[in-house]
Amino acid sequence: MPFQIRDTYAAARAVAYLMLAAGAYNLITGVLMKLGDPVSQLIAVGVASAAFLIVGVLCLRRPQSLPRAFWPVVPLLSAVVITGLNYATHDTTMGPQLFYLWPLLFSASFQSRRLVGATVAAISAGHALVAFTFAPETRHALNDSIAITVAMAMTAIVVTGLRERNDRLREVLEAQAASDSLTEVANRRAFDRELARAVSGPAPVALVMVDVDHFKNINDTWGHAAGDRALQAVAGALRDTGDGDRFVARLGGDEFAVLLRAGPAEALRYAEHARSEIAALDGLASGPPQLSIGVAVLPDHAQSAEDLQRVADAALYQAKQRGRGQSALAVTAA
């Protein structure tokens, strides 16, 4: 979303550190070191410093107490405050202008490009207001305004580009960490996370446990490359069978699991359909692999994630005991 803040926790820390540092800095340099200045100016800087310190403490200790709208607009507010302080002190020197870097870097690190652009515009407009009001020459003010705008825009482009590149790299790493490299379905870690999420949501949740029968014989007879192709074919069939959403994972070796939002009858139909699809496969040197499948549903057969896995495993074992190459539905919980 264009106006949604990224990583609110890190953003709150960034705001807190800035506000605490800015409050202390302005209190020392704007009040204590300028006690001979007009009283109204000292009061304005003092009030702003106190406000900075209060907001900094809130962001550090109780960030949830601040409204959600605060985080997207905080760079714009910071740019306005910096402009106000520079205007109040008639300061057009380079030092105070460096404080504009904070709202810029905050926006480029945590916000969308649209808000980054708005922040650059606010900084440019704020600096131009101070420069054209108090600079000794118009040409000097114009040069400063152009320099600040270009510098801020280039910094925003670089930081935003690096952030987006890091986001893409992180997404790739997260996908790799959650998927099985051979079959391109989810791995055990991702399955455990999805199972916990699924059982905490609306019922029913069906767990389909799948085991490739005599997989060791495929490897021993046809070679590991043929075994890999058989696993890939099974994963593809489980992923493509039927309609609706499903979560397919390889738990390890020749064992797969599928999560469905389905009742017992529908889940069993899915299992039988998947077995039929795999039995119809051709082009495998080892022939189509045979599957044993166990099906369990929450809340019909279990009341927790652990129970669901246990009863699905028991149903899978029952299918094997019956002669393999078939599906078994768990016994209804008493």
Instruction: Kindly write down the DSSP assignment for every residue of 83-139, as one continuous string.
Output: HHHHHHTT--SHHHHGGGHHHHHHHHHHS-HHHHHHHHHHHHHHHHHHHHHH-S-HH
Radius of gyration of the chain (CA): 31
SS3 205: strand
Instruction: Identify which of 33, 55, 62 has the alpha carbon closest to the alpha carbon of residue 45.
Output: 33
Instruction: Identify which of 22, 26, 119 has the alpha carbon closest to the alpha carbon of residue 75.
Output: 119
Indicate whether this model's pTM tops 0.85.
no
In angstroms, the CA 149 to CA 270 distance is: 61
Instruction: Identify which of 106, 98, 99 has the alpha carbon closest to the alpha carbon of residue 72.
Output: 106
Contacts for 277-282 with beta carbons within 8 Å, 24 or more apart? 277/237, 277/240, 277/241, 278/233, 278/234, 278/237, 281/233, 281/237
pLDDT, tens digit, 9 for 90 and up, residues 162-179:
989 988 898 888 888 888
Domains in the chain: boundaries: 8-177, 188-329
Q: Write the class of the CATH domain 188-329.
A: alpha beta
How does pLDDT run along the chain (334 residues), one tens digit per residue?
455 566 777 888 888 887 888 788 878 888 888 888 888 878 888 888 888 889 889 888 888 888 878 888 888 988 998 898 788 878 888 788 888 988 898 889 888 899 999 999 999 999 999 999 988 888 888 988 899 999 999 999 999 999 899 888 988 888 888 889 899 999 999 999 999 999 998 889 999 999 999 999 999 999 999 999 999 999 999 998 877 788 999 998 999 999 999 999 999 999 999 999 998 888 888 889 999 999 999 999 999 999 999 999 999 999 999 999 999 999 865 4
Burial level of 328, CB count in 10 A (0-12/13-18/19+)? Answer: buried
pLDDT, tens digit, 9 for 90 and up, residues 213-244:
999 999 999 999 999 999 999 999 999 887 77
Q: What is the predicted pLDDT for the residue at 292?
A: 95
User: Cis ω on the peptide bond leading into residue 204 (within 30° of 0)?
Assistant: yes
Alpha carbons within 13 A on the beta-carbon side of 282: 0
Instruction: Identify which of 150, 124, 128 has the alpha carbon closest to the alpha carbon of residue 140.
Output: 128
As annotated, the active-site residues are 254
Q: What is the predicted pLDDT for the residue at 1?
A: 46
